[in-house]
Structure 1
Amino acid sequence: MTELPEDVRDLVALDLSAAQVQDWSITGDSFSWTLLAGDADRGHELASLTYIGAVVLHTNRRDLDRAVAAAAEVDHAEVVRGDDGGFEHHVILVPSYPVVVRFWSVEVRRMPAPDHLRRVR
Protein backbone atom coordinates (compact mmCIF):
# COMPACT_ATOMS: atom_id res chain seq x y z
CA MET A 1 0.00 0.00 0.00
CA THR A 2 1.24 3.43 -0.84
CA GLU A 3 0.69 6.70 0.98
CA LEU A 4 -0.51 5.25 4.25
CA PRO A 5 -1.00 7.46 7.29
CA GLU A 6 1.85 7.16 9.81
CA ASP A 7 -0.24 5.23 12.35
CA VAL A 8 -1.23 2.61 9.75
CA ARG A 9 2.41 2.35 8.58
CA ASP A 10 3.35 1.56 12.21
CA LEU A 11 0.79 -1.26 12.21
CA VAL A 12 1.96 -2.66 8.87
CA ALA A 13 5.58 -2.59 10.08
CA LEU A 14 4.84 -4.95 13.00
CA ASP A 15 5.98 -8.53 12.55
CA LEU A 16 3.03 -10.36 14.09
CA SER A 17 4.02 -13.81 12.84
CA ALA A 18 3.26 -16.27 15.69
CA ALA A 19 2.38 -13.40 18.07
CA GLN A 20 0.26 -14.63 20.99
CA VAL A 21 -2.92 -12.91 22.12
CA GLN A 22 -2.42 -11.72 25.71
CA ASP A 23 -5.61 -9.75 26.33
CA TRP A 24 -8.26 -7.62 24.65
CA SER A 25 -10.91 -4.99 25.45
CA ILE A 26 -13.68 -3.01 23.80
CA THR A 27 -14.47 0.48 25.07
CA GLY A 28 -16.85 2.77 23.21
CA ASP A 29 -15.75 2.84 19.58
CA SER A 30 -12.28 1.40 20.22
CA PHE A 31 -10.96 -2.16 20.23
CA SER A 32 -7.63 -2.94 21.90
CA TRP A 33 -5.57 -6.05 22.21
CA THR A 34 -2.08 -6.86 23.34
CA LEU A 35 0.01 -9.36 21.39
CA LEU A 36 3.32 -10.89 22.43
CA ALA A 37 5.46 -10.75 19.29
CA GLY A 38 8.95 -12.04 18.55
CA ASP A 39 10.83 -15.17 19.53
CA ALA A 40 13.72 -16.32 21.71
CA ASP A 41 16.30 -15.46 19.01
CA ARG A 42 15.07 -11.93 18.23
CA GLY A 43 13.64 -11.19 21.65
CA HIS A 44 10.01 -10.54 22.56
CA GLU A 45 7.94 -7.40 22.68
CA LEU A 46 4.42 -6.56 23.73
CA ALA A 47 2.53 -4.80 20.97
CA SER A 48 -0.53 -3.00 22.26
CA LEU A 49 -2.88 -2.09 19.39
CA THR A 50 -5.81 0.28 19.88
CA TYR A 51 -8.06 0.76 16.86
CA ILE A 52 -10.21 3.92 16.89
CA GLY A 53 -13.60 3.94 15.16
CA ALA A 54 -13.40 0.17 15.32
CA VAL A 55 -15.83 -2.56 14.38
CA VAL A 56 -14.72 -6.16 15.03
CA LEU A 57 -16.06 -8.71 12.55
CA HIS A 58 -16.14 -12.53 12.32
CA THR A 59 -15.69 -13.08 16.05
CA ASN A 60 -17.37 -12.37 19.38
CA ARG A 61 -16.36 -11.82 23.00
CA ARG A 62 -16.47 -15.55 23.79
CA ASP A 63 -14.14 -16.34 20.87
CA LEU A 64 -11.73 -13.59 21.93
CA ASP A 65 -11.71 -14.93 25.50
CA ARG A 66 -10.99 -18.42 24.13
CA ALA A 67 -8.16 -17.00 21.99
CA VAL A 68 -6.53 -15.56 25.13
CA ALA A 69 -7.05 -18.77 27.13
CA ALA A 70 -5.67 -20.92 24.29
CA ALA A 71 -2.62 -18.69 23.76
CA ALA A 72 -3.81 -18.33 20.16
CA GLU A 73 -1.09 -17.24 17.73
CA VAL A 74 -1.24 -15.09 14.63
CA ASP A 75 -0.96 -17.24 11.51
CA HIS A 76 -1.47 -14.39 9.04
CA ALA A 77 -2.08 -10.64 9.29
CA GLU A 78 -2.55 -7.95 6.68
CA VAL A 79 -3.93 -4.43 6.45
CA VAL A 80 -6.19 -3.50 3.53
CA ARG A 81 -8.03 -0.33 2.59
CA GLY A 82 -11.74 -0.43 3.25
CA ASP A 83 -14.31 0.68 0.70
CA ASP A 84 -15.32 3.60 2.94
CA GLY A 85 -11.84 5.17 3.12
CA GLY A 86 -10.89 3.48 6.39
CA PHE A 87 -8.82 0.36 6.86
CA GLU A 88 -9.25 -3.28 7.83
CA HIS A 89 -6.80 -5.42 9.77
CA HIS A 90 -7.34 -9.05 8.72
CA VAL A 91 -5.90 -11.49 11.25
CA ILE A 92 -6.08 -15.28 11.27
CA LEU A 93 -5.37 -16.81 14.66
CA VAL A 94 -4.41 -20.44 15.14
CA PRO A 95 -6.42 -22.50 15.93
CA SER A 96 -8.79 -20.89 13.41
CA TYR A 97 -10.07 -17.64 14.84
CA PRO A 98 -10.54 -15.22 11.93
CA VAL A 99 -10.70 -11.60 13.08
CA VAL A 100 -11.30 -8.49 10.97
CA VAL A 101 -11.03 -5.08 12.60
CA ARG A 102 -12.41 -2.15 10.60
CA PHE A 103 -10.93 1.12 11.82
CA TRP A 104 -10.17 4.76 11.02
CA SER A 105 -6.95 5.12 12.99
CA VAL A 106 -4.75 2.96 15.18
CA GLU A 107 -2.36 3.51 18.05
CA VAL A 108 0.58 1.12 18.19
CA ARG A 109 2.59 0.90 21.41
CA ARG A 110 5.57 -1.44 21.68
CA MET A 111 7.71 -2.39 24.62
CA PRO A 112 10.32 -5.10 25.28
CA ALA A 113 9.00 -8.18 27.06
CA PRO A 114 10.65 -11.08 28.88
CA ASP A 115 10.71 -14.47 27.15
CA HIS A 116 8.74 -16.14 29.96
CA LEU A 117 5.54 -14.36 28.87
CA ARG A 118 5.25 -16.76 25.91
CA ARG A 119 2.78 -19.44 26.93
CA VAL A 120 2.96 -23.03 25.76
CA ARG A 121 -0.06 -24.00 23.64
Structure 2
Amino acid sequence: MTELPDDVRDLAALELRAAQVQDWSIAGDSFTWTLLAGDSDRGHELATVTYVGAVVLHTNRRDLDRAVAAAAEVEHAEIRRTEDGGFEHRVTLVPAYPVVVRFWSVEVRRMPAPDHLRRER
Protein backbone atom coordinates (compact mmCIF):
# COMPACT_ATOMS: atom_id res chain seq x y z
CA MET A 1 0.00 0.00 0.00
CA THR A 2 1.51 3.31 -1.06
CA GLU A 3 1.35 6.70 0.58
CA LEU A 4 0.31 5.61 4.04
CA PRO A 5 0.28 8.17 6.85
CA ASP A 6 3.10 7.70 9.36
CA ASP A 7 0.83 6.21 12.03
CA VAL A 8 -0.58 3.58 9.66
CA ARG A 9 2.92 2.83 8.39
CA ASP A 10 3.93 2.09 12.01
CA LEU A 11 1.06 -0.42 12.20
CA ALA A 12 2.04 -2.01 8.89
CA ALA A 13 5.64 -2.40 10.14
CA LEU A 14 4.57 -4.70 13.00
CA GLU A 15 5.32 -8.39 12.43
CA LEU A 16 2.10 -9.82 13.83
CA ARG A 17 2.25 -13.37 12.47
CA ALA A 18 1.78 -15.68 15.51
CA ALA A 19 1.43 -12.68 17.88
CA GLN A 20 -0.67 -13.57 20.93
CA VAL A 21 -3.53 -11.44 22.18
CA GLN A 22 -2.67 -10.35 25.72
CA ASP A 23 -5.33 -7.78 26.55
CA TRP A 24 -7.92 -5.47 24.99
CA SER A 25 -10.13 -2.51 25.92
CA ILE A 26 -12.70 -0.19 24.42
CA ALA A 27 -13.02 3.42 25.61
CA GLY A 28 -15.16 5.94 23.78
CA ASP A 29 -14.26 5.73 20.10
CA SER A 30 -10.96 3.92 20.71
CA PHE A 31 -10.14 0.22 20.60
CA THR A 32 -6.84 -0.92 22.13
CA TRP A 33 -5.25 -4.33 22.24
CA THR A 34 -1.87 -5.55 23.31
CA LEU A 35 -0.18 -8.29 21.32
CA LEU A 36 2.94 -10.27 22.18
CA ALA A 37 4.90 -10.42 18.94
CA GLY A 38 8.18 -12.09 18.02
CA ASP A 39 9.77 -15.40 18.98
CA SER A 40 12.55 -16.77 21.15
CA ASP A 41 15.12 -16.38 18.32
CA ARG A 42 14.39 -12.73 17.50
CA GLY A 43 13.09 -11.79 20.92
CA HIS A 44 9.62 -10.75 21.98
CA GLU A 45 7.95 -7.39 22.17
CA LEU A 46 4.64 -6.11 23.46
CA ALA A 47 2.86 -4.04 20.85
CA THR A 48 -0.01 -1.95 22.14
CA VAL A 49 -2.17 -0.76 19.27
CA THR A 50 -4.79 1.95 19.84
CA TYR A 51 -7.16 2.65 16.96
CA VAL A 52 -8.92 6.03 17.11
CA GLY A 53 -12.32 6.57 15.54
CA ALA A 54 -12.60 2.79 15.75
CA VAL A 55 -15.41 0.40 14.99
CA VAL A 56 -14.74 -3.29 15.66
CA LEU A 57 -16.54 -5.70 13.33
CA HIS A 58 -17.09 -9.48 13.21
CA THR A 59 -16.43 -10.01 16.91
CA ASN A 60 -17.80 -9.08 20.32
CA ARG A 61 -16.53 -8.63 23.87
CA ARG A 62 -17.03 -12.30 24.71
CA ASP A 63 -14.96 -13.37 21.69
CA LEU A 64 -12.20 -10.94 22.61
CA ASP A 65 -12.17 -12.22 26.20
CA ARG A 66 -11.92 -15.77 24.83
CA ALA A 67 -9.05 -14.73 22.57
CA VAL A 68 -7.11 -13.51 25.62
CA ALA A 69 -7.95 -16.62 27.67
CA ALA A 70 -7.02 -18.97 24.82
CA ALA A 71 -3.78 -17.13 23.96
CA ALA A 72 -5.18 -16.70 20.44
CA GLU A 73 -2.56 -16.02 17.79
CA VAL A 74 -2.64 -13.89 14.68
CA GLU A 75 -2.77 -16.05 11.58
CA HIS A 76 -3.03 -13.21 9.06
CA ALA A 77 -3.17 -9.41 9.19
CA GLU A 78 -3.58 -6.79 6.49
CA ILE A 79 -4.43 -3.11 6.21
CA ARG A 80 -6.85 -1.77 3.64
CA ARG A 81 -7.95 1.74 2.81
CA THR A 82 -11.73 2.26 2.99
CA GLU A 83 -13.82 4.15 0.47
CA ASP A 84 -14.40 7.00 2.94
CA GLY A 85 -10.67 7.65 3.40
CA GLY A 86 -10.20 5.66 6.61
CA PHE A 87 -8.55 2.28 7.07
CA GLU A 88 -9.37 -1.28 8.05
CA HIS A 89 -7.06 -3.62 9.92
CA ARG A 90 -8.21 -7.13 9.03
CA VAL A 91 -6.87 -9.73 11.45
CA THR A 92 -7.59 -13.46 11.52
CA LEU A 93 -7.01 -15.14 14.86
CA VAL A 94 -6.43 -18.84 15.51
CA PRO A 95 -8.73 -20.42 16.49
CA ALA A 96 -9.89 -18.92 13.20
CA TYR A 97 -12.18 -15.99 13.44
CA PRO A 98 -11.86 -12.57 11.89
CA VAL A 99 -11.51 -9.24 13.62
CA VAL A 100 -11.89 -6.13 11.49
CA VAL A 101 -11.12 -2.73 12.99
CA ARG A 102 -12.17 0.31 10.97
CA PHE A 103 -10.28 3.41 12.10
CA TRP A 104 -9.12 6.91 11.22
CA SER A 105 -5.80 6.97 13.02
CA VAL A 106 -3.70 4.60 15.10
CA GLU A 107 -1.03 4.73 17.76
CA VAL A 108 1.49 1.90 18.10
CA ARG A 109 3.61 1.54 21.22
CA ARG A 110 6.31 -1.14 21.31
CA MET A 111 8.49 -2.39 24.13
CA PRO A 112 10.76 -5.40 24.64
CA ALA A 113 9.13 -8.30 26.49
CA PRO A 114 10.50 -11.37 28.27
CA ASP A 115 10.03 -14.77 26.64
CA HIS A 116 8.01 -16.10 29.58
CA LEU A 117 5.01 -13.93 28.59
CA ARG A 118 4.35 -16.28 25.69
CA ARG A 119 1.60 -18.68 26.80
CA GLU A 120 0.95 -22.22 25.64
CA ARG A 121 -2.27 -22.68 23.69
Q: TM-score, normalised by structure 1?
A: 0.99
* Cα distance in 2, alignment partners of residues 80 and 23 from structure 1: 24
Aligned-partner residue type, residue 22 of structure 1: Q
Alpha-carbon contact 1:63-1:97 (below 8 Å) kept: no
> Where in structure 2 are the equivalents of 1:2-81 lying within 5 Å?
2-81=2-81
Query: Which secondary structure does the structure 2 equivalent of 1:38 belong to?
Result: strand
How far residue 115 of structure 1 moved from its aligned partner, in angstroms, is 0.1
What CA deviation, in whole Å up to 9, does each residue of 1:20-58 have, x standing for no partner?
A: 000000000000000000000000000000000000000
- Partner in structure 2 of residue 95 of structure 1: 95
Q: Which runs of 5+ in 1 are unaligned?
A: none
How far residue 83 of structure 1 moved from its aligned partner, in angstroms, is 1.1
* Cα distance in 2, alignment partners of residues 39 and 77 from structure 1: 17
The answer as to 2:114 corresponding to 1:117 is: no
* Cα distance in 1, alignment partners of residues 101 and 113 from structure 2: 25
* Cα distance in 1, alignment partners of residues 74 and 2 from structure 2: 24
Alpha-carbon contact 1:19-1:36 (below 8 Å) kept: yes
Q: Alignment length, in residue pairs?
A: 121
* Cα distance in 2, alignment partners of residues 20 and 69 from structure 1: 10
* Cα distance in 1, alignment partners of residues 97 and 64 from structure 2: 8
Query: Which secondary structure does the structure 2 equivalent of 1:3 belong to?
Result: coil
C-alpha RMSD over aligned residues: 0.3
* Cα distance in 2, alignment partners of residues 67 and 46 from structure 1: 16
